[in-house]
Amino acid sequence: MTIIHAPWLFDGVKVHRNLAVAYDRKIVAVEPFEILETRFPEAETIRLDADRLLMPGLVNPHVHLEFGANTTHLRYGDFMAWLQSVIEKRDELIDACRAACYKGQVEAMLQSGTTAFGAISSYGKDLVACKAAPQRVVFFNEAIGSQPAAVDALYSDFMQRFEASAKAADARFIPAVAIHSPYSVHPVLMRKILSEIPDAPLTAHFMESPAEKAWLERGEGPFRDFFEKFLGQSRPLQTPGQFLDSLDRPALLTHAVQADETLLETIAQKGHTVIHCPRSNRLLGCGRLAVEKLNEKGIPWFPGTDGLSSNTSLNLWEEMRAALMLHYRAPLEEVARRLLRGATADAAEALKLPVGRLEAGYGADLIVVALPDAPDDAAQVPLQALLHTKKAETVIIEGEQHA
């Protein structure tokens, strides 16, 4: 048993002063230090300095590790130009990301304080690295392919990858399902997978770019030329609304930048959540996610980094800072608090992970971050943490210290 006394504590929802956490593999109690010290006299005790913040470990719900070798290989500024560059450089980048590349990405996330992440795996090449990661991992095997004649082969390939991840499953490694997007997965393939794997966590890219919106809603735009050239396909296979109707369980929808009022209503009604990737959206010319509309409709949203194919780091602090500056019309303290809650309690809940809160019974995934000075105002703590933090000073996963 260990007790950490924190002058400042963020429990996943609120900031508190002068509380302590008693934990082993799970959190046993959160109370004033004097009470816990009396209750657990044999426990190891740690007293943090006045400028330290104790909080749940960060949860990054959307990461692509397989393209982690990218630096300047891909073209930014426009989604279709980026996609074309991905197609041209895909094999080169995937071959270049070997064991050290995967390990480096995992370690970088760990050092920044990410204690759980959702890995979107298109080919299964990151399975070994994700299984070996000290973090909790939700391993999203991704389905992709829209050609009708290839549905059976694509389904077989997907199931082989899913079954390989299922064999590695344990309490900290959870096999899951990703449907790439409404435009890239045949509805029959999607239905087969969802019916075969009914209970796994589910995610999908959804309404990311103006090109996707024009293609799915009107059969127009640059995607029309793309699909005719590469797949001989002259019309979309489903509308965005039909795609949402086909999801048989609450899903984590990444991006949703181009979702209109009707689609947002459906997302809210079906209990889906939205992963917000502001840096990726900016680099690919996708636009701004109108989080104020999500707030109005009660749609949970939280930050994710996407992968290094469309970002410069997997650091959630940097992602949250980008979001903080992007949504400049909302009150600053409110946005900061929402982002910090999103990166802990909300993301963990959406991924069905027993972490994200400093509360008795939750997993002991904790981090300590250093602020520039001891804060004077509890309301400013989330903001100051977002503004100044680059990495965690201490990282604890399931009661074990990793950094």
Copy the structure tokens of residue 128. Answer: 């070994």
What count of other Cβ atoms lies within 10 Å of the Cβ of residue 195? 9
Residue 108: half-sphere exposure toward Cβ, Cα within 13 Å: 19
Alpha-helical runs (H) found in 284-362: 291-297, 316-326, 332-341, 347-350
Cα separation, 53 vs 138, in Å, equals: 27
* Burial class of 261 by CB neighbour count within 10 A (0 to 12, 13 to 18, 19+): exposed
Cα separation, 175 vs 179, in Å, equals: 14
What count of other Cβ atoms lies within 10 Å of the Cβ of residue 296? 12
Cα separation, 357 vs 360, in Å, equals: 9
**Strand 273-276 vs strand 301-303: parallel, antiparallel, or unpaired?**
parallel
Catalytic residue among 31, 107, 196, 208: 208
User: Rg of the chain over CA atoms, in angstroms?
Assistant: 21
* Burial class of 353 by CB neighbour count within 10 A (0 to 12, 13 to 18, 19+): buried
* Residues 182, 238 contacting (CB under 8 angstroms): yes
Q: Report the chain's terminal Cα–Cα distance, integer Å.
A: 18
* Residues 191, 213 contacting (CB under 8 angstroms): no
Is 292 tagged catalytic? no
3-state secondary structure of 352: coil
Which residues are known to be catalytic?
208
